[in-house]
A and B are shown apart, each in its own frame.
Chain A
Amino acid sequence: MVKQRKKKHSLSAMSRKNLITYLILFAGAFVSLIPFIWMISTSLMSLGEALGTAFFPSQLHFENYAEAWRRAQFSEYFINSILITLITLSGELTFSIFAAYAFARIEFPGRDLIFSIMLSTIMIPAMVLIIPNFLTVTWLGRIGPIPWINNWPALTIPFMGSIFSIFLLKQFFAQVPDELFDAAQIDGAGHLRFLFQVVLPLSKAPLMVILVLSFIGTWNSLAWPMLVTNTPDWRPISVGLMNFVDEAGQLVNLTMAGAFITIIPILIIYFFTQKQFTDSIARSGLKG
């Protein structure tokens, strides 16, 4: 491709154009990354430096991380968030896989009606749902065998039914060729075996997207956990970080260390899955 272009343009004009392109791209990357650079740099400063004008620390204060971890009780919140994410994800993935398979590959009365009613719930603003759901969850905790408020059910169960995940998976499941199913049926495989042995191995990319997006969503949720937790027992890291910033707002170096601690797990997951992730986002986004 580069060779083709060289024929059209002279070499110097081409490289000048490329240079400008690279400059703009680097500027974009710089703006994208500068908050992270500043965060990491500040998190390693002493308090005096962090409040001053320095951009880089003169001495690396790694102990800030230990201090932030201890003061913000991150060990507790971290475990909470990981547990909440694991419970939500396992429920959401299981339920969504089954529902998406039925919607994509089985004909049954009312299929399109049920699906479109469920899809229309995307339109409903969260603020309409949050009040009645809070009342419902309180009620369920009072009548049921275990309390819901300040406990895992309120934080996980409402998010296990996700029409977004069902929609995304349905799109991919529907693309599996019918011939594969016919062949599987001749071999005596039912829906369950076909789903687990043929469809799921083909759908690693959308599963990965749901995994990462749900992880981010759970890790990042604020309004709902603020409502349904009033003790630290099950409080997730998002609320923990917010409270820590409220308490230690002046200690910029510590809050930046806290912010970076919160980001690390997501960044690790993103870098491991980024190829499939961006590809699937692009594909699912276009289908809208």
Chain B
Amino acid sequence: MENKNFLQRTFTGRRGRRLKEYLTAYLFIAPATILIFIFGIFPVFFALYVSLHRWRIVRGDMIGLTNYVNAVGNLAYVVAFFLGIGALVGVYIVVKKIIKMKQEHHDQPWVTMLPAFLYAVMVFSFLNWFYRALPEVLDIAFKLRGLERHEIVFIDFLLDALRAETVLPAWRIFMLVLLASLVVGGLVLRLWRNRNNFKYQAYFSLGFLALGAGIGLLAFTLGEVNAAYSAALAEGTDPGIWPQVISISSGVILLAGGWLIWKQAEKQYSNGLFWLHLLGALVLLVGGWLLIGEIPTIIAAGDNKIWDGLKVTVFFSLGTVPFQLIISLFLSILLFQKLIGSNVFRIIYFIPYVTPSIASATVFQQMFSNRQTAPVNMFLRSLGLPPQQWLFEPRGIIRIIGDMVGFSVPQWAAGPSLALVVIMLHSIWTFVGYNTVIYLAGLGNIPKELNDAAEVDGASGWQVFRHVTFPLLSPTTYFLSLIGVIGTFKAFNTIWIFRSNLALGTTDTLSLVIFLEFFEKLRYGYASAMAFVLFGIILTLTLINNRVQGSRVFYG
């Protein structure tokens, strides 16, 4: 035993075997995890950093929320303010959870607050170091310009960057806090023997983190608002941020309150029901009115491109996802009858999905060409309709149809431009096959007995579909609609190919707007801020979707 060296000793015995198992696992996941971290997680923080700067190819000054204000107007302040408040609400939720746990187990967990506080401080001191070190490390690339490519040189420069006078103290503080938190955390784990010790530490650190983030964000926003006010005062104008914050907040609070009252009224079955409903509805109305009335003024200073891009994206989603779902549901039910050759149809329907969309978009571009002799225009002519400009047509489709029948449609009801309609058709064409295959699998999962039972009970084909098949397919429909909407927010390649200046930007979804800002105007900071606006919209949509649709999906 004694002759064994350190390594052998570490990896023998039960504990040693477990340690070896852990090491194997970490080695296995290391390459993929590191890559996903560098190119999937770190960039989010990097993008946040870029978005707070004036950044055109090279980094300029730190300008706080200015990029966001340029993008969405004063709404940026309001959202930052709400995020801060949200973090404080998070603290409240965590504290409530801790108190509940404490009462259940009759614990006195207060001693775990100490390491938890240190953990939180550790995270913040790390972020502080990161924030200071990042620009120094980025600048190495410029310092290395014109020098030989040599490893040693880079490491020298890296060490120099990390030893810079703004960076080193931050690093020392981080190391100190890290050490202290490890020591204190270990001590508390040993001294207070409790099964839930670690859980309490984790919850308290979460609470402290949220507290720090909330206070930090609120202070930052306050500073930004004050700066905006003093800048406006110097110009002799009034930015009017505070009144907007107050009216938006009261709108949100009233909406939430009205909703709560309405819910409460649904629970009680007394005579007060009617009045409570009325009160709830009234509060909801006032809150909604406040919000709807205030939002246009608050975003007035923002960038119109964002709202145009958002409108196009919404058109694109509404014009593709429902049609895709209906067509593919219909086709899958036909295919599910297992007629001779249905497999061949399935293979054919799937081809558009696997075809490189750049190539298929090129083909669509020519089929929907504005030439008189292009296939689709020929088809229109055979129907006795005038040829169209298709991808070069910025006018809305409803307006074009209105013009054909001699009825002038107002601008707000013009609908998506004809150019966007072509893109929608291409998108539907591409994804129907994919949706059909998924629906087929969903149909295969429905127990046959259910359909048979319904048929025995005398239900007609439509009734079976309406009351048995369709509800049992709801998880599939939910999944496909989610994938579809996310897809329309992500869509880039085809729109880039289809895009024409003659369509006057009526085909540019928000993703396109951001890419153009970055790729053509080289405004990295501003484009990053826009990308975060898109991120916020997607997150909000997903949350709402989970709330509303998630509860209605029937998981059979």
Contacts and interface: CB of A to CB of B under 8 A. Distances in A.
Interface of A: 1, 18, 21-22, 24-25, 28-29, 31-33, 35-36, 38-39, 42, 51-53, 55, 94-96, 98-99, 101-103, 106-109, 111, 114, 117-118, 121, 123-133, 135-136, 138-139, 142-146, 157-158, 160-163, 166, 191, 212, 216, 219-223, 226-227, 238, 241-242, 245, 252, 255-256, 258-260, 262-263, 266-267, 270, 274, 278, 281-283, 285-286, 288
B150 to A, nearest CB: 8
Nearest to B369: A252
A158 B434 contact: no
30 contacts: A1-B338, A22-B339, A25-B335, A32-B352, A55-B375, A95-B31, A102-B26, A107-B21, A118-B36, A123-B538, A123-B539, A127-B534, A131-B50, A135-B50, A136-B46, A142-B140, A142-B141, A160-B35, A161-B36, A161-B39, A163-B36, A219-B356, A223-B493, A227-B519, A238-B356, A252-B366, A263-B355, A274-B350, A281-B438, A286-B441
Nearest to A25: B345
Contact of A286 (B354, B373, B476, B532): B476
9 cross-chain pairs, A with B, having the tightest CB-CB distances, nearest first = A161-B35, A282-B441, A132-B46, A102-B28, A132-B43, A142-B141, A99-B32, A108-B25, A95-B32
A281 B437 contact: yes
A143 B140 contact: yes
Contacts of B496: 222-223, 242
Contacts of A274: 347, 350
A114 B40 CA distance: 13
Contact of A128 (B31, B330, B535): B535
A29 B354 contact: no
Nearest to B349: A32
B531 interface: yes
Interface residues of B, number: 102
B24 interface: yes
Interface string B436-450: 011011100100000
B438 A102 contact: no
Contact of A158 (B28, B35, B497): B35
A262 B358 contact: yes
A193 to B, nearest CB: 12
B371 interface: yes
A261 B28 CA distance: 39
Given A161-B38, A226-B519, 19 more contacts: A1-B338, A24-B331, A31-B429, A32-B349, A35-B364, A102-B26, A123-B538, A124-B40, A128-B528, A128-B532, A129-B40, A161-B35, A227-B519, A242-B497, A259-B363, A262-B359, A263-B355, A281-B437, A282-B441
Given A131-B50, A131-B518, A158-B39, A32 B32 contact: no
B515 A223 contact: yes
Interface string B28-55: 1101111110111111101100100000
A121 B36 contact: yes
Nearest to B513: A127
Contacts of A101: 28
A2 to B, nearest CB: 9
B346 interface: yes
B109 to A, nearest CB: 22
A286 B442 contact: yes
Interface string B513-534: 0110011000010011011101
B490 interface: yes
B31 A99 contact: yes
Interface in B350-400: 350-352, 354-360, 362-367, 369, 371, 373, 375, 378
A212 B356 contact: no
A266 B489 CA distance: 25
B376 to A, nearest CB: 10
A96 B358 contact: no
B412 interface: no
B144 interface: yes
Interface of B: 21-22, 24-26, 28-29, 31-36, 38-44, 46-47, 50, 138, 140-141, 144-145, 149, 151, 154, 157, 327, 330-331, 334-335, 337-339, 342, 345-352, 354-360, 362-367, 369, 371, 373, 375, 378, 429, 432-434, 437-438, 440-442, 445, 475-476, 479, 489-490, 492-493, 496-497, 511, 514-515, 518-519, 524, 527-528, 530-532, 534-535, 538-539, 542
Contacts of B371: 51
A98 B373 contact: no
A127 B362 contact: no
A259 B479 CA distance: 32
Nearest to A271: B347
Given A131-B524, A259-B359, A283 B44 contact: no
A191 B28 CA distance: 10
A33 B31 CA distance: 42
Contacts of B354: 212, 216, 266-267, 270
A239 to B, nearest CB: 9
A136 B38 contact: yes
Contacts of B41: 117-118, 121
Nearest to B34: A161
Given A109-B22, A114-B29, A128 B44 contact: yes
B334 A25 contact: yes
B492 A126 contact: yes
Contacts of B47: 128-129, 131-132
B22 A108 contact: yes
B293 to A, nearest CB: 30
B29 A103 contact: yes
B479 A288 contact: yes
Contact of A139 (B36, B138, B337): B138
A118 B24 CA distance: 19
A101 to B, nearest CB: 6
A244 to B, nearest CB: 9
Contacts of A52: 373
Contacts of A129: 39-40, 43-44, 47
Contacts of B531: 125, 127-128, 131
Contacts of A111: 25
B532 A35 contact: no
B401 to A, nearest CB: 22
B56 to A, nearest CB: 12
A32 B515 contact: no
Contacts of B42: 132, 136
Given A121-B41, A136-B46, A145 B151 contact: yes
